[in-house]
Each structure stands twice: as structure tokens, then as C-alpha cells.
């Protein structure tokens, strides 16, 4: 009988190997229908058992310690059992092709001799047809290892403030050129399939799809779903979580691994963004160390390709942005006071996050901390929670139920006062499909709930359903009961009064607008650009800095290299900064009456002081009312 062909997937680490292995393992039967075996006898889903068999002369190797086979007799028995189990599986299934996958091969079999032994074992069962190796940008690899170390609470060798520090002697796992040279010498250059783990280049941004297509596997990645086991810790919380994770290890907290996993799941529910990246300067310095070897890899091991071996990452500044969830809130909102699992950790977390070194005044503050929090109710989902009054809540994720911010609750406070005459969570509003509400790029946090209670439409400037507030379509004029416009008018190009007039036209007589923009209470309003600006284009310059190209009515163009963006670098350009006087004046000049400013309501999560408050205004019902003097009041 002809020997099966063997494909070896050798990682490297942190290149989606778990996703590939889990998917192939779950597709065992489907693959076997096409004569392809992904052995279940070598460990599931990672084939670490076969890698261990090659560690013949290293009883204290980490893999042998992990599998508890440091004793030579135990190791020999383990090796025989593993090989016999694989032989039986091959005999029973009679595959034409075998796929073996273990990301530990490249780093733990770090010599020619060890790779030769591994090759010898594999060739007992088939002919090696290809060795697939993915390479990841070294700085991204280092950051990913840092994230893994945080999860494990073992941060030895990492600087929390700058994980991009390596020892003078380059660790083997980062020496891709040496790894590939060793594989090339043992398996042959023509057998190696070296691929780049780069989501900007991978088909669909997914390594699983790439692996399936490259190896012509008869399975669909769409049906398999995505593995979330090795998810990154969001950059907004990883630094503080690293401190807590280390504390759990250093103090031998009971059930430490379970506690870490519990905390990770809680954080992942609120924060599922990318892991940390350092400043461009840090990454440039780090990658300079690898420039020569990356050029050599591209030259000798890759198919002809344009550009560098790896794409440039997206840089963040600061690398650890402010987390909108305080650690005090995390413990208070998520765990009951009787939860002994966290009894000691809560105090430790407070101390760590505030950098407490035993200061007596800080200890005194701990005893009176209950004075700094109030019971609050979310005006979107209705969940009750504890609100801490030490930080401003405007943009903070304050509700543990729906992740709504203080601003979202302020908008719904105004809406509830207009529709119900009292503050009531929108989830508890009666259904009223006769009331038409339109939002301008509203948050999903409350737009989903509004759509179940009212005749609600969420409309956008740049995508469907379209609405340019400056020129509302004829069929919408005078049809809207409530218009929600939050953080929109500061981005409107041209005269802001056009946007106010458009809002006024949309409303029915007696209709309301609920309105917010970032504004200052003192000082002048600022227009950042010329009156004849008609469009702009965001781009990154040669240094990676976000800039905008300004396009004027006469076709003239100019570059602003210090623009102000909202929503992240390169996102939405700030055209102006209002002050409170201008907001009120332009509402009145448009014709609005009953301008009402919402003050702090901490019992509803609304707590950030005078600047940038949410307000509402009403379109008069009659001409007589329009002629009446305008005034400002407060909720």
C-alpha cells in the first residue's frame, strides 16, 4: 500500500495555530471522507505528543515536564504508546494524506538533531510533502506573548510599561532566520511553505481561511466559526489587569487560574478591542533589530513579493488609553459582597490601581469610600448598579447591563421626560408606533431598544439610510416628533446654522430635538476651517501621522497636519468647537423654544459637571408662540 503524504504545520507561535487545530479537529469526519487524516491519537487538538517523542535526550524539557514524562521509563512507555496509537489510527482510516499540527515544533525542537529525530518519526508513517510555517511581525509576536503572560500571571521578563524589550541575546523563538535555516536543512527548501501571518494580507483577514485554501482542504471556514480561546486582552484594561494577575500569582490566591479566567470573561464582555501597541518610536527601534533577517527571509524563503515582509501596524498613542470602567465599579457591579472568591482580591485591586504604598490618608479614604458612590438606575435597560462619583461619566461605560455611557443615559432622560413626563428606563416604555423618532448616527446601545418601542429610524450621513441634516428630503419635512442629535453638529461642514434649520424643518409643530455637542462654558466658540470648505480626506503621512486634505469650493486644497478627530485617529473631523452661548443662540435664532439643559443626575448615571451637557428644545406649535420671548430652563 502506498504511504500517505504528510503535511506538517509547525506554527510559529501566536499565528492562529489554535484556530487551525480546533477547526481541523472538529472536521475529523468531513476530512476523512476525502481521505485526509488529522490524527486524534497525538493529542487534541494540538499534536504535542508527537513533538514530545522527539525529545529523547532532554528529560527536563518543559514539554516532558508538562506531560509528566521526565522519568526515562515513563518517557519510553509514552513514546511507544503514542506511536502505536498513531499506527492503529492510520491502519483503521487508511488515509491518503495526514496533517500534523503543533506550534511547539519550531521553538522546542530548536536544533538540527531534534528536527532530524522528529522527521525520522514522521517518515515511519508517510512521506513528508510540505512543512507549513507562518511568521508574524516580531513586535506583534512580542506583544501577544505579553498578553499571554498577563493571563497566566507570569510576567517575568516583561516590562509592563514597555513590553517591547528583549534581552541582548536574541531568544530562538524570535530568530526566524535560524528557525527556517534549520527546517530547510532537515526537510529541504523545496518542502517549506513559508507564509506571513498578516491580517491585512490574509484572505478575509483570517489565517484559517488561508490555511484551508493553501492546502486545498475540502472544508469551509465559514461553517467552522472562529476560535476565541486565545483572544487578546483589550489594550484599555491589560495594564491594570497585569497588576492584578501578578498579585494573584505572587500572593498564591486560592483558585488563582479560575479567578483569572473569571476576570478575563468579565472584561471581554465589555472590552473586546485589540491588544496594546506601543508608540511608533518603540516599534521602529524594536523592528530595527530584525531588519536584516527579515530581508534575508524575504529573499531566500518567500515567493517574489512587493514591499516589506510585514505590513506596518496601526499605532496608538497613548498605548494604554484610559479605561472607561473603574476597577472599583468592576468589583461592585459584578460580584456580591458575600462572594468569598474575591473577598481579598477586591482590596488588593483598589490598592494596586491607586498605586497605594501604605499611605495612611489613602487608608482613611478606603474606610469612607461608601460616601463616593450612589445607587443608580440605567435609563436604557433598567439595571441597578453602584455609581462611583470620583470620575466623570459622560463617555464612560457605566452600566454593567448594557454598557451605556453617562451621555446615553442623559439622552434617554430627556426623551423619557418628553414622552413619559418622568425618568423611566426605555426598556419599560409602552410601545407607541405613532411617535416618530429619528436619530442621527445613534449608538446601538439605545437605538436597538428605541426601535422596539417607537417608530424609530437611525439615519446616517455616510451610509444608508442617508440623511444630510443640512438638506432634509421634502418627504421628511414636518414628520418627526423627536430628533436625537448627539455629537453631530460639530462635524457639519459649512455654516452650522444650516444644520439647525434642517433639524427645525424635520420636526412637527410641538416636536422636540434632544441635542448634544462637545462645548465649553467659558471662552469663544472656535471654527477650525475656512467658510468655503466643502469636503476633506483623511490620510496618514510618511511618518504614520494622521492628517487631512481640505478641499475648498474653488477646488483649492491644503493639508492640516494637526487635525482633531473624534472616534479615533483618521475618523470624523472636528470642524468647530461650540461654546454654550452659541448653542443656545443658534437654537433660538432657528426658532426653537423651551431650551432645557440637563444637570447632573447621578442616580441615573449622569455626572460630569457643567461642560457639554445634553439639552432639549421644542419647535413652537403656532406663530404666536414663535413670537414669544425665548428662555432657558433646567431639568
DSSP string computed for 300-369: HHS---SS-SSPPPPP-SSSSPPPSS-HHHHHHHHS-TT-GGGHHHHHHHHHHHTT--S-HHHHHHHHTG
* Mean model confidence pLDDT for the chain: 87
Note the pLDDT of residue 315.
60
- Res 444 pLDDT > 50: yes
- Res 317 pLDDT > 70: no
Q: Which residue has the higher pLDDT, 491 or 312?
A: 491
Asked if the bond preceding 21 is cis, omega within 30° of 0, the reply is: no
Q: Express the helix, strand and coil content of the chain in percent, nearest 5 each.
A: 40, 20, 40
- Res 223 pLDDT > 80: no
259-299 pLDDT, tens digit per residue, is 788 788 877 777 777 777 777 888 888 999 999 999 999 99
Measured CA to CA in angstroms, residue 192 lies from 7, 59, 185 at distances of 10, 30, 10
Share of the chain above pLDDT 90, in %: 62
22-63 pLDDT, tens digit per residue, is 999 999 999 999 999 999 999 888 999 999 999 998 899 999
Count of CA atoms in the C-beta half-sphere (13 A) of 219: 27
Write the CB contacts of 148 (distance below 8 Å, at least 6 apart in sequence): 14, 230
- Res 575 pLDDT > 70: yes
Note the pLDDT of residue 626.
67
Name the nearest CA neighbour of 176 among 410, 339, 12: 12
Q: What is the dihedral of CA 201, 204, 208, 212, to 10 degrees?
A: -90
Please state, as a whole number, how many other Cβ atoms lie within 10 Å of the Cβ of residue 579. Answer: 17
> What domains lie within the chain, and their CATH numbers?
5-136+167-228 (3.40.50), 419-528+574-634 (3.40.50.150), 531-564 (no CATH)
DSSP H stretches of helix in 165-255 = 176-187, 207-214, 221-224, 238-250
pLDDT-derived band at 118 (thresholds 50, 70, 90) equals very high
- Res 358 pLDDT > 50: no
Question: What does the alpha-carbon distance between residue 598 and residue 615 come to, in Å, rounded to a whole number?
Answer: 6
Q: What are phi and psi of 520, to 5 degrees?
A: -105, 150
> Of 158-162, 327-331, 405-409, 609-613, which gets the smallest average pLDDT?
327-331
What is the side-by-side strand order in the sheet with 593-597?
Answer: 454-459, 432-440, 480-486, 507-516, 615-618, 593-597, 632-634
Note the pLDDT of residue 238.
83
Write the CB contacts of 168 (distance below 8 Å, at least 6 apart in sequence): none
Are the C-beta atoms of 32 and 95 separated by less than 8 Å?
yes
Helix axis angle, 256-270 to 138-152, nearest 10°: 120
- Chain centroid offset of residue 269 CA: 11
Q: Which residue has the higher pLDDT, 204 or 378?
A: 378
pLDDT-derived band at 586 (thresholds 50, 70, 90) equals very high
327-347 pLDDT, tens digit per residue, is 545 554 454 444 444 545 555
Helix, coil or strand: residue 275: coil
Average pLDDT over residues 610-632: 85
Are the C-beta atoms of 253 and 344 separated by less than 8 Å?
yes
- Res 440 pLDDT > 70: yes
pLDDT-derived band at 88 (thresholds 50, 70, 90) equals very high
Are the C-beta atoms of 275 and 233 separated by less than 8 Å?
yes
Share of the chain above pLDDT 70, in %: 89
Beta bridge partners of 483: 438, 513
Asked if the bond preceding 321 is cis, omega within 30° of 0, the reply is: no
Are the C-beta atoms of 366 and 350 separated by less than 8 Å?
yes
Do the strands 373-377 and 384-388 form a parallel or antiparallel pair, or are they unpaired?
Answer: antiparallel
- Res 156 pLDDT > 70: yes
141-152 pLDDT, tens digit per residue, is 998 899 889 888
Q: Which range, 203-207, 239-243, 562-566, is most confident?
A: 562-566
pLDDT-derived band at 249 (thresholds 50, 70, 90) equals confident
Are the C-beta atoms of 456 and 415 separated by less than 8 Å?
no
> Of 69-83, 265-279, 428-442, which gets the smallest average pLDDT?
265-279
Query: Global pTM?
Result: 0.58
- Res 308 pLDDT > 70: yes
Note the pLDDT of residue 330.
54
Average pLDDT over residues 374-395: 88
Residue 448, exposed/middle/buried by CB under 10 A (0-12, 13-18, 19+)? middle
Note the pLDDT of residue 230.
60
Are the C-beta atoms of 598 and 606 separated by less than 8 Å?
yes
Question: What does the alpha-carbon distance between residue 551 and residue 561 come to, in Å, rounded to a whole number?
Answer: 14
Q: Which long-range contacts (CB under 8 A, 24 or more apart) does 390-395 make?
A: 390/326, 390/328, 391/326, 392/607, 392/608, 392/609, 393/605, 393/606, 393/607, 393/608, 394/608, 394/612, 395/324
Amino acid at each position: 500500500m502506498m504511504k500517505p503524504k504528510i503535511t506538517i504545520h509547525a506554527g510559529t507561535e501566536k499565528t492562529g495555530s489554535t484556530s487551525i487545530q480546533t477547526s481541523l479537529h472538529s472536521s475529523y469526519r468531513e476530512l476523512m471522507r476525502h481521505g485526509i487524516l488529522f490524527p486524534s491519537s497525538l493529542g487534541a487538538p494540538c499534536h504535542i505528543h508527537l513533538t514530545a517523542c522527539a525529545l529523547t535526550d532532554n528529560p527536563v524539557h518543559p514539554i516532558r515536564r508538562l506531560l509528566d514524562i521526565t522519568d526515562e521509563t515513563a518517557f519510553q512507555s509514552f513514546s511507544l504508546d503514542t506511536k502505536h496509537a498513531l499506527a492503529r489510527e492510520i491502519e483503521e482510516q487508511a488515509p491518503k494524506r495526514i496533517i500534523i499540527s503543533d506550534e511547539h515544533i519550531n521553538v522546542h525542537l530548536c536544533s538540527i538533531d531534534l528536527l532530524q529525530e522528529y522527521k525520522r518519526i514522521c517518515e515511519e508513517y508517510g512521506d513528508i510533502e510540505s512543512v507549513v510555517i507562518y511568521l508574524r511581525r516580531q513586535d506583534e509576536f512580542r506583544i501577544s506573548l505579553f498578553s499571554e503572560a498577563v493571563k497566566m500571571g507570569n510576567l517575568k521578563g516583561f516590562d509592563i510599561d514597555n513590553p517591547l524589550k528583549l534581552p541582548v541575546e536574541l531568544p530562538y523563538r524570535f530568530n526566524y532566520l535560524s528557525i527556517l535555516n534549520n527546517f530547510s536543512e532537515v526537510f529541504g527548501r523545496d518542502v517549506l511553505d513559508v507564509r506571513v501571518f498578516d491580517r491585512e494580507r490574509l484572505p478575509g483577514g483570517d489565517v484559517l481561511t488561508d490555511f484551508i485554501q493553501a492546502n486545498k482542504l475540502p472544508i469551509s471556514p465559514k461553517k467552522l466559526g472562529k476560535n476565541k480561546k486565545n483572544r487578546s486582552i483589550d489594550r484599555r484594561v491589560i495594564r491594570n489587569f497585569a497588576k492584578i494577575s501578578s498579585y494573584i500569582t505572587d500572593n498564591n490566591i486560592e483558585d488563582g487560574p479560575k479567578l483569572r479566567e473569571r476576570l478575563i470573561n468579565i472584561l471581554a464582555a465589555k472590552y473586546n478591542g485589540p491588544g496594546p501597541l506601543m508608540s511608533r518610536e518603540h516599534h521602529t527601534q524594536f523592528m530595527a533589530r530584525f531588519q536584516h533577517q527579515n530581508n534575508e527571509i524575504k529573499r531566500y524563503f518567500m515567493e517574489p513579493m512587493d514591499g516589506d515582509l510585514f505590513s506596518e501596524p496601526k499605532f496608538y498613542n497613548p498605548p494604554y488609553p484610559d479605561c472607561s470602567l473603574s476597577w472599583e465599579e468592576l468589583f461592585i457591579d459584578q460580584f456580591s459582597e458575600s462572594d468569598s472568591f474575591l473577598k481579598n482580591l477586591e482590596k488588593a485591586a483598589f490598592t494596586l490601581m491607586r498605586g497605594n504604598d501604605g499611605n495612611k490618608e489613602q487608608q482613611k479614604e478606603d474606610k469612607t469610600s461608601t460616601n463616593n458612590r450612589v445607587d443608580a438606575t440605567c435609563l436604557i435597560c433598567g439595571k441597578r448598579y453602584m455609581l462611583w462619583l470620583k470620575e466623570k461619566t459622560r463617555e464612560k461605560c457605566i452600566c454593567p447591563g448594557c454598557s451605556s455611557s453617562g451621555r446615553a443615559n442623559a439622552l434617554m432622560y430627556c426623551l423619557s421626560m418628553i414622552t413619559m413626563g418622568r425618568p423611566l428606563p426605555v426598556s419599560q416604555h409602552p410601545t407607541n408606533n405613532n411617535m416618530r423618532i429619528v436619530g442621527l448616527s445613534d449608538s446601538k446601545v439605545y437605538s436597538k431598544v428605541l426601535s422596539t418601542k417607537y417608530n424609530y429610524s437611525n439615519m446616517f450621513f455616510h451610509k444608508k439610510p442617508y440623511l444630510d441634516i443640512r438638506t432634509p428630503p421634502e418627504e421628511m419635512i414636518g414628520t418627526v416628533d423627536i430628533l436625537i442629535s448627539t455629537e453631530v453638529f460639530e462635524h457639519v461642514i459649512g455654516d452650522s446654522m444650516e444644520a439647525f434649520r434642517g433639524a427645525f424643518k424635520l420636526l412637527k409643530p410641538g416636536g422636540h430635538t434632544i441635542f448634544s455637542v462637545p462645548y465649553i462654558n467659558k471662552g469663544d466658540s472656535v471654527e477650525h476651517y475656512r467658510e468655503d470648505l466643502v469636503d476633506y480626506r483623511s490620510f496618514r503621512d510618511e511618518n504614520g501621522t494622521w492628517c487631512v486634505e481640505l478641499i475648498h469650493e474653488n477646488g483649492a486644497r491644503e493639508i492640516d497636519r494637526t487635525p482633531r478627530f473624534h472616534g479615533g485617529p483618521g475618523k470624523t473631523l472636528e470642524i468647530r468647537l461650540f461654546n454654550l452661548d452659541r448653542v443656545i443662540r443658534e437654537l433660538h435664532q432657528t426658532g426653537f423654544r423651551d431650551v432645557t439643559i440637563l444637570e447632573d443626575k447621578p442616580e441615573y448615571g449622569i455626572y460630569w459637571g457643567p461642560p457639554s451637557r445634553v439639552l432639549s428644545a421644542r419647535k413652537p406649535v403656532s406663530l404666536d408662540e414663535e413670537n414669544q420671548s425665548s428662555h432657558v430652563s433646567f431639568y
